[in-house]
Each structure stands twice: as structure tokens, then as C-alpha cells.
Structure 1
Amino acid sequence: MELNVKNPLVFFDLETTGIDMVNDRIVEICILKVFPDGRTEVKTRRVNPTIPIPAQATAIHGITNEDVKDCPTFKEIAKSLVQLIEGCDFAGYNSNKFDLPLLAEEFIRAGIDFDLKKRKFIDVQTIFHKMEQRTLVAAYKFYCDKDLNNAHSAEADTVATYEVLKAQLDRYPELKNDIDFLSDFSAKTRNVDFAGRIVLNDKDVEVFNFGKHRGRPVVEVLETEPGYYAWMMNGDFPLYTKNVLTRIKLGMMVKK
């Protein structure tokens, strides 16, 4: 089944120096762009992460420091990436938990305020786990009856994810071929920030989701304990989380 898309839909996958969204960096990115008329476009870029690639990361994706030493940094390609994905919705495999948060961090580090609030996000892994509970390699075999060669290369994983989603739509009639539906179906959380440090409670109020203030409204904490804002801003939290916290604090100031 071909995807029914209103806006261009970007499937993407990142290969990185590790899994810490605060400190790790992208070494390869692949974007497969699906247009409303069914056309597809694939672009893959190697990226100089500006920090060493650990051996354990190279063992997974096969990319070495030598491979990327002459490649552009993310900051150097950030504007062209924004142009490529402007106005698009997003899809990936485990992307809501890892790839999107790390991509957002890289954009912020590059000095680009890339607003993702109005985008739809489809996580093919979440759909798969709700339906079958397996890995991408198994998903590709299960849904497409193909072996996933070159697993953990950005392009192979990205193309496989695109094919898996189309096969999922063919297999499960209860899945609507609609980006809004698929985005809602594959969402696991009510995160306000990607890392899930701030979430919406059952009353759609922004609350902290960690530490001593877990479950308390952010506005309430910032009013009664003003130093908590500075502690978080100086702490080892993702830049996107800090931006969300700052937005809430500025909103409080406007209302006064």
C-alpha cells in the first residue's frame, strides 16, 4: 500500500557516536522524502562529529574517524537540511525516543531554531511493537519477506523502515493510511520535550517527570522555587529541554 500523505513525509535514520543525546553527535544521516504524488528522494550524508567515534560505535555502524575526517560538520550542512525537511512530517524507527531528540539537539547547537511543534511524527518501531514485538531486521523479514543487508547503515535502515510502514498498512486494516492517525498511534508519551523531562498530565498541564518535583506543575515549581530554573539550565539536560523550560518561564512573565 502506498502512503497517503498531504505534506511531504521524511523517513530518516541517524548513525551516531553513541546514545547520549546531550553529548553524542551524528556521523551519518539519511533522509528519504516521500512526496504527496508518490515520488521519493533519498539523500545520505556523512558528518564530521567533531568528537572521536568510540570503537564500540564503529563496531555497530562501521564508520571510523578516518571515514569522516574530511566530511562537513553538522553546522555546515544544517541550513541545507532545514530546506530539505521544511514543511515535512517525520517517520523513523525508534525515532521519537532517539533520532528526533538528537536531531533537535544538533540543530540547536548549530544555532538554528527549527520548530517541530506543528509536525507529525510516526514511529514505525512503536507500531511494530504494538503489533508484533520485534526488531527492525525481524520486522523487515516479517513484513517484507526480505533480509536486511547492511543493517546499521543509515540508508539501508531508512529504506527498510519506509518499506516496513507500507507493508504494515497492507497487513493491518485497522491502521488508517493517514499521517495524523499513524502519528497518534505510534506516540508512546505525552512529552512536552523530547527527553520526557516535562510532560502533560491528564489535565494537559505541563509537569515535571523526574526528580523531587515529579508530577508537579512546572509553573508551580518555578514560582515557589525560582532557583530550580537555574539549576536545570546549568545542569546536564538536553538543549531542547532547556528551551522548553525557558518558553514556560517566559510565558509566566508575560502573564504577570
Structure 2
Amino acid sequence: MSWYRGRLCGFDLETTGIDVEHDRIVTACVVQCGGGHPTQSATWLANPGVEIPEGAAKVHGITTEQAQAEGQPAGQVVEQLVAALSQVVLAGIPIVAMNAAFDLTILDREARRHRVHPLTDTVGDALRVLDPRVLDKQVDPYRRGGRKLEDLCRTYGVRLDGAHTADADALAACRVAWRIGASRPELAALTLPALHSRQVDWAAEQALSLADYFRRTPGKESWADGVRTEWPFIPHQQDGDL
């Protein structure tokens, strides 16, 4: 049976910002779907321990006041997230994450910040990730338009209710991955380990291409230096100001 017909686990975070080294988790969702079994979803609201910038709150709808009043301590949320994802990975289920290197890197840094054993240290080589963004760029590299989740949902005919909420985005990412697998026999034929390995290479190639585009675009030349090629997460280099 092809990977897209099996169980998938969507994972999504909403955060205080886009700096993977310093920003914090605000909301999270882990949803299991497909494989002939009912959908199971778990969501979290964290008190990140820092102010949530107004710009971030406008995206995901969670203010500092709400997070402080209703959120669990961040360390508890991170511990529960790592436990939930570890259980999924060790059961052989792939994690589906749109722009996986962002969410998995944020989770890794939050784990280290709160002295939680990181996901990748727990599951090791068992980790299998499906990134709809990487897959879509590989199978349709010249399509015009955006590549955000909302764009991919339109392209692949997936309904997205409540964009920029972790639960809606996690489930939509799974549905997009399913549609890509169902429509691309060359991907459907690959085993999960092989597809994960291919995405490591594809993501690096896509990042290098983006950096080259920035270097050739007036006003964006400096952006090239911030493009990272690592996937599905950026390895932690050294202890610092987390």
C-alpha cells in the first residue's frame, strides 16, 4: 500500500514570530487521519512566557492576555507535543508539516529551552516527514503564483477552514499531501524512507535556487544569506540564548 493511503499525522504550530532560534510556540496541533481509521486531533494553547507581538496575534488570533489566562505553561506543552509526536513516529506514521523545517526547528529549540528531550534525539532515524511545500515545488516547479498552504489548497482542491489556526492547517496539510500522492504515481511508488531522503535533497536544491533568485533581484540581494538548506529541521549548533 502506498504511503498516501496509510495513516498520516499532521503537525502545525502558530508562534510568536518567524525566528526559529528565539520565537515561541503559542498554539499547536497534532492530528492523525486516513488509513481507514477515524481522525484524532489534539490541540494545545501555550503561555509562551513572552509578549505575543501584535502582528503575530493578528495572524493566529491569540493575544498575550489570552495566552496568559488560558494557556498551559510552555514547558508542559512542549513536553506533551514531543511525547505525542514520538509515539506517532515510532509507530511508523509520517509527520506531515507544511514548511517542516520551520515547525520542527521551533519545536527542537523549545524543547532545549525547557529541558525536554528533543524529538529528533528521541526517535533518531525513525523520523519520516512529508512536506507539501517541498513536494509541490518538486512536481510542479514552474507553476506561477504562491506556495503558501492556502495556495496549495486551491491548487489541489482542498478545503481550508480557519487558515492560520493550528488544527485547520495541520489537517489541510495532510489533505494536500494525500492529493499529491494520489495524483503523482512517481511519488506514490516510493517508500516512506526513500521519499523522506529525496525530500532532503529536493529541499536543499529548492533553497539554493531561492537564494540564487534573491542574489539576482535588486533590493533582495541580502536575503540570500538567510536562506537555509537543511530539512526537515535545522540542527542545533550550540547552547546559546534560547
TM-score by length of 1: 0.67
Q: Does residue 1:137 correspond to 2:142, yes or no?
A: no
Q: Relative to 1, partners in 2 of residues 1:73 and 1:95: Cα closer, same or farther, differing over 3 Å?
A: same
2:172 to 152, 160, 163: 160
What code does the residue aligned with 2:236 have? Answer: Y
Q: Does residue 1:95 correspond to 2:100, yes or no?
A: yes
Match in the other structure for 2:26? 27
2: CA distance, partners of 1:74 / 1:53: 13
1: CA distance, partners of 2:158 / 2:111: 37
- Between the aligned residues of both structures, percent identity stands at 27
2: CA distance, partners of 1:182 / 1:67: 40
Q: Does residue 1:14 correspond to 2:13, yes or no?
A: yes
Match in the other structure for 1:40? 39
1: CA distance, partners of 2:178 / 2:4: 7
Q: Give the drift of 1:14.
A: 0.6
Q: Does residue 1:117 correspond to 2:124, yes or no?
A: yes
Hey, which of these two has a bigger chunk of helix by percent? 2
Match in the other structure for 2:198? 185
CA contact (8 A) 1:30 1:45 kept: yes
Q: Give the drift of 1:173.
A: 1.0
Q: Give the drift of 1:83.
A: 2.7
RMSD, aligned CA:
2.6
Q: Give the drift of 1:74.
A: 2.1
Map Cα deviations across residues 47-88 of structure 1 (whole Å, 9 max, x no partner).
Answer: 111000111111211211122112112212333323322241
Match in the other structure for 2:109? 105
- Structure 2 gaps, min length 5: 206-224, 226-233
Map Cα deviations across residues 202-229 of structure 1 (whole Å, 9 max, x no partner).
Answer: xxxxxxxx9xxxxxxxxxxxxxxxxxxx
Q: Give the drift of 1:34.
A: 4.4
1: CA distance, partners of 2:130 / 2:64: 32
2: CA distance, partners of 1:124 / 1:101: 17
2: CA distance, partners of 1:165 / 1:155: 16
Matched residue pairs, number? 193
Q: Which structure would you say has the larger RCO, counting Cα contacts within 8 Å and 6 or more residues apart?
A: 2
Map Cα deviations across residues 200-256 of structure 1 (whole Å, 9 max, x no partner).
Answer: xxxxxxxxxx9xxxxxxxxxxxxxxxxxxxxxxxxxxx992217xxxxxxxxxxxxx
Match in the other structure for 2:184? 172
Correspondence 1:167-246 to 2 at 5 A: 167-176=179-188, 178-187=191-200, 188-189=203-204, 240-242=236-238
CA contact (8 A) 1:25 1:49 kept: yes
Match in the other structure for 1:229? none
What code does the residue aligned with 1:63 have? Answer: I
- Structure 1 gaps, min length 5: 191-209, 211-237, 244-256
Match in the other structure for 1:81? 81
Please identify, of 28-37 and 58-67, the stretch whose mean Cα deviation from structure 2 is larger.
28-37
Q: Relative to 1, partners in 2 of residues 1:9 and 1:162: Cα closer, same or farther, differing over 3 Å?
A: closer
CA contact (8 A) 1:127 1:186 kept: yes
TM-score by length of 2: 0.71
Q: Relative to 1, partners in 2 of residues 1:145 and 1:50: Cα closer, same or farther, differing over 3 Å?
A: closer
CA contact (8 A) 2:5 2:35 kept: yes
Match in the other structure for 1:67? 66
Q: Give the drift of 1:165.
A: 0.5
Larger radius of gyration: 1
**Stretches of 4+ aligned residues off by more than 3 angstroms:** 34-40
2: CA distance, partners of 1:122 / 1:43: 19
